[in-house]
Amino acid sequence: MPTVTVKMPPALHSRLEAEAARRRTTKSAILREAFSERQGTAPSGSFYERAKHLIGAASGPGDLSTNPKYLAGYGHSRRP
């Protein structure tokens, strides 16, 4: 089995050690279990597919890049 090194804050490491002692198992076993439980919980599909229901939900001007009025001062500092 490959070995993986993980760096974590001391507080999190203490929690991991305490959980391992409580369960009478290894820290590695707890981490493997945690990763296995998280497997498949990442969102599927593209960002567009997950957010397409939001398209057109807000009101406001159309594509700002096509109107020169909205580009006035673009790239310039707002400082006097």
Residue 26 contacts residue 32 (beta carbons within 8 Å): no
Residue that wins the pLDDT comparison between 37 and 3 = 3
pLDDT tens digits for 11-63? 999 999 999 999 999 999 999 999 888 877 777 788 888 888 888 887 776 67
> Which residues have C-beta within 8 Å of that of residue 16, sequence separation ≥ 6?
8, 27, 30, 31
Q: Please report the pLDDT score of residue 60 as a whole number.
A: 72
Look at residues 33, 27, 28, 3 and name the one whose alpha carbon lies nearest to residue 15: 27
Domain ranges across the chain: 10-71
pLDDT tier at 10, thresholds 50, 70, 90: very high
